[in-house]
Amino acid sequence: MKIVHTIDELRSQLRGQLRTAFVPTMGNLHEGHLSLMRTAARHGDPVVASIFVNRLQFGPNEDFDRYPRTLQDDAAKLEKEGVYVLFAPDEREMYPEPQDYRIRPPEDLGDILEGEFRPGFFVGVTTVVMKLFQCVGPQVAVFGKKDYQQQMIIRRMCQQFAMPTEIISAETIRDADGLALSSRNGYLSEQERAEAPRLYATLQQMRDRITQAQFGLGLKLDEVADLEQAARQILSVKGWQPDYISVRRQSNLAAPTQQDLDQRTPLVVVAAAKLGKTRLIDNLEI
């Protein structure tokens, strides 16, 4: 595996490649990230990974400075997965001057859910992804479904800018108890880690009740609102601080209408909540 730190080195390594598959990460890699590499290998060759902790997507009170940097261990894991090139730039390489040109997603998708609770987050994400795509020139890029809103925004960005990159969504990888793998799980105390699977269990309960209602007498909007409120209450009682638990349309993350419920439009329940100082996100398609 080649490890390169500059854009010029990266482009030199990839010159002439016809179907590059790319997986951008912020490092501190776990099995979820490695599964993305395997998905990439099924859709393209060679596989390129990047590790860059992107300051633009962190808010002023978020964990940029304490986000784990584990480049040596990460590189060893990627080499075992057969990754061809690891692009690991520093901030001076990615942002040699202030990044005044930025990508701003439309408000109806970028300013809801995660965008509401993390203002500017998706501007930072789409800007760095656009820049990384310009550096790598991938035909395929793989993103995990755990970041449901993020992969939707990136797919639409590629479509609207006519970018020659196909976005592949990979399923969420979970521990045996259901907790979605995340680099931030390492922040959890032992007691918090034991409690953390409740988030996914709560989403499963919501999915089951919605499915049962849809195949019974039907589902009403006020019942959906009651389920959302009950889920927030379940978590709050156990010490969580929910930001949102919301049933949305899979197609665009808009709130469903009664017609959507009557026609059994594909839905997804998305959630974000703090457990102690650690903010966890998850989702479950219905």
Residues belonging to the active site: 33
- Interacting residues of 165 by C-beta distance below 8 A, sequence separation 6+: 22, 133, 138, 139, 140, 141, 158
Q: How many Å apart are CA 45 and CA 228, to the nearest integer?
A: 43
- Interacting residues of 251 by C-beta distance below 8 A, sequence separation 6+: 265, 266
Give the side-chain half-sphere CA count within 13 A for 59: 11
How many residues are listed for the chain in this entry? Answer: 286
Burial of 45 (0-12, 13-18, 19+ CB in 10 A): middle
